[in-house]
């Protein structure tokens, strides 16, 4: 089932939480991004070719875009008028675009990329001490390319990055080409799977490339040389995690999985499509943060392959990744999932009962209670359904919606189909009622 497209004909997605991000009137099919980045001055010279399909007749189209100098804009190869106003780029082609027609908007731009300010802090393209990273969730993608910045408008990508040769470049995609020219290296990546803008990432740093395993899912990493020994221990069980999560959720949905560890500290790991980014502070050689390793890996199924149709449904990302932490803990010899569920139930019960996780509100999208109560909801559902039906549901949910969009209503319907009965009262208690129900 495809979720409703952003509101047509508007410079807004109509998203109930973040209406200023996303645009109506078209659906993007493909982004072709060519980036030339100079690390020391943080200077980006770039072009973006956006191929889209008009969902209605368009006399103009709008894109989310940050603070860059725009050199020219073309529509289907012909010069187009444009206006940059605030965080929107408005493009007016020479001729209106008919409904159903495919068109390509090409934007050439230059500037110093900087993060987008948000209620969750600065997100997007950011400088490291020696390099750069992109952390786009939920609204940071416009900090480095013009886009339709809404999770429901998933597209394929080709991304080319040229930068100084001492730096390793990792982009959320499969490496298609690497060529050296003088003092620079050009890296080209393809991302064929439908991908939300907030899940695209570029990582640039002086990293060693580490191969974790070549099969059945290729897994590699980019790691600062000083952290190699600690990394080998902290991420040494990741191939086992991959095997375990595939048993639970079905085949891994992408061609490879890449870990990047920055040489700087990060507040939290960064989720991206086929990639996860950790800070130096998450690597200590004692597996202190191993739960974060499995959390980010679980997002490849829940959040990346299955993407929320809008931000109200974020518990479908974070609740599943949290429950994966608990299941891995039990699998790897740590506390059982039931023990962790009891502990978190006690801790959440001590907090104010003022969040409905099915619709937490924009200010609480990333509230700890959305994560942990999401995990508790799944643990309670497991008790309600029994293990055979519950784990069959997880595999079917991930498989049937692979690379698609999902909503809470769809998950409820899927759970009821696997349970063979109505679960309306159960989900009302756990998802729609602020008061925390007793744990089964």
Examine the domain organization and report whether 156 and 267 are in the same domain.
no
230 to each of 220, 225, 261, how far by Cα in Å?
A: 16, 10, 11
Examine the domain organization and report whether 273 and 341 are in the same domain.
no
In a domain, 221, yes or no: yes
CA dihedral 264, 267, 269, 272 (to 10 degrees): -90
Alpha-carbon distance of 378 to 320, in angstroms, equals 8
Residue after which a domain boundary falls, among 178, 203, 228:
203
Contact criterion met (CB below 8 Å) for 341 and 326: yes
Examine the domain organization and report whether 239 and 330 are in the same domain.
no
Residue 159: strand pairing partners: 33, 189
In a domain, 383, yes or no: yes
How far, rounded to the nearest angstrom, does the alpha carbon of residue 350 sit from its chain's CA centroid? Answer: 31
Q: What is the DSSP string of 42-90?
A: TEEEEEEEEEEEESS-BS-EEEE--S-EEEEEEETTEE-EEEEETTEEE
Alpha-carbon distance of 22 to 330, in angstroms, equals 40
Residue 434 CB coordination number (10 Å) = 12
Q: The domain that contains 130 carries what CATH number?
A: 2.60.40.1730
Examine the domain organization and report whether 139 and 13 are in the same domain.
yes
Q: The domain that contains 401 carries what CATH number?
A: 1.10.390.10
Strands 168-171 and 102-111: unpaired
242 to each of 26, 192, 301, 313, 326, how far by Cα in Å?
A: 37, 21, 11, 25, 15
Q: The domain that contains 280 carries what CATH number?
A: 3.30.2010.30
Examine the domain organization and report whether 58 and 199 are in the same domain.
yes
Residue 121 CB coordination number (10 Å) = 10
- pLDDT, position 2: 30
Query: Going by C-beta distance under 8 Å and a sequence separation of 6 or more, which residues neighbour residue 14?
Result: 6, 7, 22, 24
In a domain, 90, yes or no: yes
Residue by residue, pLDDT tens for the chain (440 residues) are: 233 333 444 677 788 999 999 999 999 999 999 999 999 999 999 999 999 999 999 999 999 999 999 999 999 999 999 999 999 999 999 999 999 999 999 999 999 999 999 999 999 999 999 999 999 999 999 999 999 999 999 999 999 999 999 999 999 999 999 999 989 999 999 999 999 999 999 999 999 999 999 889 999 999 999 999 999 999 999 999 999 999 999 999 999 999 999 999 999 999 999 999 999 999 999 999 999 999 999 999 999 999 999 999 999 999 999 999 999 999 999 999 999 999 999 999 999 999 999 999 999 999 999 999 999 999 999 999 999 999 999 999 999 999 999 999 999 999 999 999 999 999 999 999 999 999 99
Examine the domain organization and report whether 154 and 255 are in the same domain.
no
Tokens of 50: 């956006």
Alpha-carbon distance of 379 to 370, in angstroms, equals 14
Q: DSSP class of residue 5?
A: P
Phi, psi of 28 (to 5 degrees): -75, 135
Query: Going by C-beta distance under 8 Å and a sequence separation of 6 or more, which residues neighbour residue 130?
Result: 39, 205, 206, 263
Domain extent for 83:
1-203
In a domain, 54, yes or no: yes
Examine the domain organization and report whether 6 and 143 are in the same domain.
yes
Residue after which a domain boundary falls, among 279, 300, 321:
300
In a domain, 438, yes or no: no
Tokens of 282: 């998450």
Alpha-helical (H) ranges within 169-298 are 228-234, 238-249, 290-298
In a domain, 282, yes or no: yes
65 to each of 85, 86, 272, how far by Cα in Å?
A: 10, 9, 20
Examine the domain organization and report whether 92 and 142 are in the same domain.
yes
Examine the domain organization and report whether 184 and 286 are in the same domain.
no
Number of domains in the chain: 3
Alpha-carbon distance of 218 to 212, in angstroms, equals 8
The label of the residue with tokens 């399909």 reads 53
Residue after which a domain boundary falls, among 250, 265, 300:
300
In a domain, 439, yes or no: no
H/E stretch holding 435:
none
Tokens of 70: 């725009």
Alpha-carbon distance of 323 to 326, in angstroms, equals 5
Examine the domain organization and report whether 171 and 243 are in the same domain.
no
Residue 246 CB coordination number (10 Å) = 16
In a domain, 110, yes or no: yes
Examine the domain organization and report whether 180 and 269 are in the same domain.
no
Examine the domain organization and report whether 274 and 216 are in the same domain.
yes
């Amino acid at each position: 089932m495809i979720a409703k497209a952003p509101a047509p004909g508007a410079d807004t997605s109509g998203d109930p939480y973040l209406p200023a991000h996303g645009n109506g009137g078209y659906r993007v099919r493909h982004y072709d991004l060519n980036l030339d980045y100079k690390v020391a001055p943080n200077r980006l010279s770039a072009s973006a070719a956006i191929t889209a399909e008009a969902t209605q007749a368009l006399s103009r189209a709008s894109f989310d875009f940050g603070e860059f100098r725009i050199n020219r804009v073309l529509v289907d190869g012909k010069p187009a008028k444009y206006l940059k106003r605030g965080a929107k780029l408005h493009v007016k082609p020479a001729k209106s675009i008919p409904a159903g027609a495919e068109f390509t908007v090409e934007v050439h731009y230059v500037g110093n990329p900087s993060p987008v300010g948000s209620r969750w802090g600065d997100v997007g393209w950011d400088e490291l001490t020696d390099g750069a990273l992109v952390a786009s969730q939920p609204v940071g993608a416009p900090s480095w390319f013009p886009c339709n910045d809404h999770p429901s408008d998933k597209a394929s990508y080709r991304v080319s990055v040229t930068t100084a040769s001492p730096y390793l470049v990792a982009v959320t995609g499969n490496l298609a080409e690497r060529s050296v020219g003088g003092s620079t290296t050009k890296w080209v990546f393809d991302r064929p799977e439908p991908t939300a803008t907030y899940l695209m990432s570029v990582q640039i740093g002086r990293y060693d490339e580490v191969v974790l395993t070549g099969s059945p899912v290729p897994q590699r990493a980019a790691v600062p040389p000083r952290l190699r020994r600690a990394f080998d221990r902290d991420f040494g069980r990741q191939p086992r995690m991959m095997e375990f999560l595939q048993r639970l959720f079905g085949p891994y949905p992408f061609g490879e999985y890449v870990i990047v560890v920055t040489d700087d500290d990060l507040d939290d790991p960064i989720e991206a499509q086929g990639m996860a980014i950790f800070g130096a502070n998450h690597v200590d050689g004692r597996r202190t943060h191993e739960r974060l390793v499995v959390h980010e890996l679980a997002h490849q199924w829940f959040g990346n392959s299955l993407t929320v149709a809008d931000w109200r449904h974020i518990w479908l990302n974070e609740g599943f990744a949290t429950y994966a932490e608990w299941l891995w803990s039990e699998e790897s010899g740590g506390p059982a999932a039931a023990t962790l569920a009891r502990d978190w139930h006690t801790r959440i019960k001590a907090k104010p009962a003022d969040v409905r996780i099915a619709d937490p509100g924009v200010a609480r999208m990333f509230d700890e209670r959305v994560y942990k109560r999401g995990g508790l909801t799944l643990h309670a559902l497991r008790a309600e359904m029994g293990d055979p039906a519950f784990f069959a549901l997880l595999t079917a949910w991930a498989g049937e919606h692979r690379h698609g969009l999902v909503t809470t209503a769809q998950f409820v319907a899927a759970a009821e189909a696997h349970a063979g009965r109505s679960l309306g009262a159960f989900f009302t208690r756990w998802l729609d009622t602020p008061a925390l129900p007793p744990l089964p």
